[in-house]
Chains A and B, each alone.
Chain A
Amino acid sequence: MPQLDTTTWFVTIVSMYVTLFILFQIKLSNFTYPLNMTPISPSTSNFTTPWETKWTKTYLPLSLPLQ
């Protein structure tokens, strides 16, 4: 039975250790499962543009006369 040929045992076992203990565990430890997925509310910016201090209806785009 070729499985009992012990000359290849060292290579097989060492390559298995490298794969199982190093490669797989590095890949799996990179899996992230973020727990708190709350959306960050967009920051309310304080614009101090002069035309916004006084908002009048005439400046609404839809109220302007059609061109």
Chain B
Amino acid sequence: MNENLFASFITPTMMGLPIVILIIALPAMLYPSPNRLVDNRLISIQQWLVQLILKQMLLIHNVKGRTWSLMLISLILFIGSTNLLGLIPYSFTPTTQLSMNLGMAIPLWAGTVITGFRYKTKSSLAHFLPQGTPTLLIPMLVVIETISLFIQPMALAVRLTANITAGHLLMRLIGGATLALTAISPATASITFIVLLLLTILEFAVALIQAYVFTLLVSLYLHDNT
């Protein structure tokens, strides 16, 4: 039962060849490069979307933070398109792999922290002690703030992994239950409706990307600008 349930999260290899490389590179092929002043509809829609997202995301940043704009927009598009492609039945979603999410979260978070330390050493160190704490609580609070700082990348990675994995697992379970119940009773109509509802709610995996990038953004903002 356990083996069967998690079978869709095994990194796909075909006869020893890691085709996971192709699966991860697939979303990049869905964004064609513009060649003209006025392109076709797909490229125009994507350009419009990128401009919309960028304008919204870069409002809170100053000049220093805006140098990260290409990184952030490619991050949100990559995670968004990967999650949406994972909603296709029987497909493999790379963001369910903890390896990939850790590989995304740790370097980006470390980049923001190091940027903060390099350019605003005192104010980034001052984050460890909120204003107005009683003197007796200072050592404990510094420890707590340090732990909460170092848990940020772990939280980013595990949040994304767990959410997407749980959603896919739930869809697989409920779909299997619906299939099994069809032969037994028409009360499956309600269960099919639950599957549909769950799928629609899971479409808001895109909202999860927003949560991911937004969290990263907030971290960047706090470390850079204050």
Contact = CB atoms under 8 A, between A and B. Distances in A.
Interface of A: 1-6, 8-9, 11-13, 15-21, 23-34
B96 interface: yes
Given A27-B33, A31-B47, A32-B34, A20 B18 contact: no
A25 B11 contact: no
Contact of A16 (B32, B33, B71, B94): B94
B24 A12 contact: yes
A50 B107 CA distance: 74
B175 interface: no
Contact of B50 (A2, A3, A5, A31): A31
30 contacts: A1-B6, A2-B9, A2-B11, A3-B9, A3-B96, A3-B97, A3-B98, A3-B99, A5-B11, A8-B20, A8-B97, A11-B20, A11-B21, A12-B24, A12-B97, A13-B100, A13-B102, A16-B103, A20-B75, A23-B25, A24-B27, A24-B31, A24-B74, A24-B77, A25-B70, A28-B31, A28-B77, A31-B47, A31-B50, A33-B51
B15 interface: no
Interface string B74-100: 110110000000000000001011111
A28 B94 contact: no
Interface of B: 6-7, 9-11, 13, 18, 20-21, 24-25, 27-28, 31-34, 37, 46-47, 50-51, 70-71, 73-75, 77-78, 94, 96-100, 102-104, 161, 165
A17 B37 CA distance: 30
B104 A20 contact: yes
Given A2-B9, A8-B13, A27-B33, 7 more contacts: A1-B6, A18-B25, A19-B27, A28-B31, A28-B77, A31-B46, A31-B47
Nearest to A34: B37
B201 to A, nearest CB: 23
A11 B16 CA distance: 12
Contact of A11 (B9, B11, B32, B47): B11
A67 to B, nearest CB: 44
Contact of B28 (A1, A19, A33): A19
Given A28-B31, A33-B51, A15 B10 contact: no
A4 B125 CA distance: 34
A27 B31 contact: yes
Question: Which are the 4 A-B pairs with shortest beta-carbon distances?
Answer: A23-B28, A9-B99, A24-B74, A8-B11
B70 A28 contact: yes
A13 B9 contact: no
B28 A24 contact: yes
B43 to A, nearest CB: 8
